[in-house]
Amino acid sequence: MKTTLFFLSIVMLTLLSTSCSSVKVVTDIDKTVDFTKFNTYSFLGWEKNSDASLSEFDKKRIKDSFRTELKARGLNYVEENGDMEISLFIVVDQKTSTTAYTDYYSTGYRGYRRYRGGWGYGYAETTYSETDYLEGTLVMDVYDRESKEQIWQGIAKSTVTENPEKRQKTIPKNIGALMHKFPVKKVK
């Protein structure tokens, strides 16, 4: 029984830790806009200096990832006055995750275990652990330069790793997940 409970708790912790590491994406779109009319894009910059918490390396990783994704969709980057204008906003929050594990101990009834017909008695012990982590939210707002209207918004939320080598891999992956929902699909 203890082995089964221990195994189940390990499986649950593994599932929880892997589900927390994935990126969550939410998008909104102006459905009246024909996205096939856009050929170029330009970056407006970071909203409200939200990039102040980012290193220069991470800023470059983010912009390079967007450029790669947009180029794959047949859109060309221009310094100014692109058909689409893109602004970025980022927030990094400190979060705390709490997990609990309950271990059940049974002493049995007159030496018999519960599965041998004894009713037994026992107790349970629950231990809690807290883990601090950083959660980043990246917002991509896309505007039609001619009308100055917002035409698309994508929001990606993910756990931020403090390891620069891992960020080098996760930033393009997370932006790829965000751009997967972009209305212009990749050109084959």
Residue by residue, DSSP assigns 80-129 as S--SEEEEEEEEEEEEEEEEEEEEEEE--BTTB-GGGT----EEEEEEEE
Residue 73: partners with Cβ closer than 8 Å, 6 or more residues away: 179, 182, 184, 185, 186, 187
Spell out the domains of the chain, with CATH numbers in brackets: 2-179 (3.30.160)
In this prediction, residue 62 carries a pLDDT of 95
Residue type for 134, please?
L
In this prediction, residue 105 carries a pLDDT of 62
In this prediction, residue 100 carries a pLDDT of 86
In this prediction, residue 8 carries a pLDDT of 34
Gyration radius from the chain CA atoms? 25
> Are 120 and 108 spatial neighbours (Cβ–Cβ below 8 Å)?
yes
Residues of the chain with pLDDT under 50: 1-20, 108-119
In this prediction, residue 176 carries a pLDDT of 96
In this prediction, residue 98 carries a pLDDT of 86
Of 147, 136, 144, 139, nearest in space to 170 by CA:
136
> Are 170 and 158 spatial neighbours (Cβ–Cβ below 8 Å)?
yes
Q: What is the per-residue pLDDT across 120-141, written as a single tens digit (0 to 9) for each?
A: 555 678 888 888 878 889 999 9
Strands 122-144 and 84-106: antiparallel
Q: How far apart are CA 45 and CA 76, in angstroms?
A: 17
Report helix, strand and coil shares of the chain as percent, to nearest 5: 35, 40, 25
In this prediction, residue 86 carries a pLDDT of 97
Of 59, 67, 62, 65, nearest in space to 40 by CA:
67
Structure pTM? 0.71
**Rounded to the nearest 5°, which phi and psi values hold at 79?**
-60, -45
3-state secondary structure of 171: helix
Q: How far apart are CA 72 and CA 186, in angstroms?
A: 5
